[in-house]
Amino acid sequence: MTKPIHSGEILFEAGAPAQNVIFPLNGLISLRLALRDGRLVEHTAVGCDGIVGGLFLVGQPREICTAMAVISGTAAWLPMHDFTAAADRFPCLRPALLTCMAQMMRRLMQSVACAAVHSATQRVSSWLLHADDRVHGDSFDITQRMLADIFSLRPATVSEACNKLLSAGAIHYSRGNLSVLDRDLLETQACECYEAVCLNALERLAPARFVDGG
């Protein structure tokens, strides 16, 4: 089943039974961990290059994080029992899933290093490049408040970073709608983490082919 996802929509919460696998077709889904003060901090985001909820097949019956749509789009939902049946029928599916999980783990490890050593402008630039790679179209809706929540930064800090990118001509931002005007310029503002886990880099890490399940 394919249906829209809307920015700010909670798709599932941490601790809930794993019921669906979600395949983002457009838009972006943020996977978040809850802190004691109620904040939800992103540890990675998933777009058309990944899946959400696939840990069930590696022995995790409950969701370990909260999934929230941060950029509106569409996603395909597959009930877990149907996904499990498909994995049993098509042996090539499990290696593909493990590759996807490995790519997600790589992004997660990179994000830990990024949060520790890189500036707000670098982090925001890298995130916007990832979003631009995964969202169809020339622009997308994202508020500075949402970006501040993603990075667990003060809104003023994110506003300063966005204004720097706006003044440089790398992006256009107005009333919650953002466009990447100059990707080359935005890449000069981003940290090395974008290049390390961009779509092309992840494709190079993926196996050339999977065993045909017939």
pLDDT digits (tens, 9 = 90+) for 160-176: 999 999 999 999 998 88
- pLDDT confidence tier of residue 92, bands split at 50, 70 and 90: confident
**Contact partners, residue 149, CB within 8 Å, separation at least 6:** 39, 40, 41, 42
The architecture of the domain spanning 2-114 is Sandwich (2.60)
The yes-or-no answer to whether 2-114 and 117-201 have a common fold is no
H-type alpha helices, 33-119: 80-89, 93-117
CA distances from 208 to 47, 50, 67, 95, 204 (A): 21, 17, 30, 12, 9
Tell me the sheet residues that pair with 189: none
Residue 44, strand partner residues: 31
Query: Which pTM value belongs to this model?
Result: 0.85
Residue range 15-60, pLDDT digits in tens: 898 899 999 998 999 999 888 888 888 888 999 888 898 777 667 7
How many whole angstroms separate alpha carbon 155 and alpha carbon 171? 18
In tens, the pLDDT along 120-145 reads: 999 999 999 999 988 877 789 999 99
CATH of domain 117-201: 1.10.10.10
Residue recorded with tokens 């494709």: 203
Domain assignments of the chain as residue spans, ordered by start: 2-114, 117-201
- Residue 175, burial from CB neighbour count under 10 angstroms (0-12, 13-18, 19+): exposed
Average pLDDT, the chain: 86
Residues 6+ apart with CB under 8 A from 7: 69, 70, 71, 72, 141, 142, 146
Question: What percentage of the chain has pLDDT greater than the value 90?
Answer: 48
